[in-house]
Amino acid sequence: MARHYDALRTVPATARQDTRMAAGAKEFRYAIGLDRTGRVTADGHSPLDLDPAWTPEHLVLAGLIRCTLQSLRFHAAPTEIDFVANGSASATVTRRSDDGRYAFVEIGVELALELDPVPPGDELAALLVKAERDCFVGASLEPSPSYHWTVNGTKF
């Protein structure tokens, strides 16, 4: 039993109690506000007046692209790969056959990158897989998005 924790405990540890701290996952928290006029704020800052054409579904798709590119930037940074990108996403919402609820049934993402430098061989494919895998927006969606990449003019 770890003796240095005894002074901090209000109830003493038993001989069989594990007093080690469990390693926890990082936790990321986000909050938005929506006022009566439709203005959105991110964590109380940066007011954004959205045109009524921006539906919640459009915002999910925009978030998916931004998240995927942020994930790519995170994985590209250690190898000093820089890039510029543009993209588009589309989705189909209809009644699902299994539960009769309206939901996304198909999600497609098209991303075009200009990488500098381009990773050699399989490293490029691995980088793109990591960008897809570690975008938590995409990982949260069912069905999973279908990604199509163009890197320096070559389709992947």
Structure tokens given for 110: 């098209």
What's the N-to-C CA distance of the chain in angstroms?
A: 54
- Collapsing DSSP to helix, strand or coil, 85 comes out as strand
> Does residue 13 fall inside a structural domain?
no
> Does residue 117 fall inside a structural domain?
yes
Q: Are 132 and 126 in contact (CB under 8 A)?
A: no
Q: In what side-by-side order are the strands of the sheet with 82-95?
A: 82-95, 102-116, 146-151, 154-155
> Does residue 11 fall inside a structural domain?
no
Q: How confident is the model at residue 2 (pLDDT cuts 50, 70, 90)?
A: very low
Angle between helices 56-76 and 122-133 (to 10 degrees): 140
What value does the mean pLDDT take over residues 64-75? Answer: 98
CATH of the domain at 124: 3.30.300.20
Q: Which helix (H) or strand (E) holds 114?
A: strand 102-116
Single out the residue of 67, 73, 74 nearest to residue 109, CA to CA. 67
pTM: 0.82
Domain extent, residue 141, equals 56-155
> Does residue 79 fall inside a structural domain?
yes
> Does residue 8 fall inside a structural domain?
no
82-131 pLDDT per residue, tens: 999 999 999 999 999 999 999 999 999 999 999 999 999 899 999 999 99
> Does residue 5 fall inside a structural domain?
no
Q: Which helix (H) or strand (E) holds 71?
A: helix 56-76
> Does residue 135 fall inside a structural domain?
yes
The structural domain count of the chain equals 1
**C-alpha–C-alpha distance, residues 75 and 81, integer Å:** 9
> Does residue 144 fall inside a structural domain?
yes
21-49 pLDDT per residue, tens: 667 899 999 999 999 998 999 999 999 99
Rg (CA), the chain: 22
Per-residue pLDDT, 134: 98
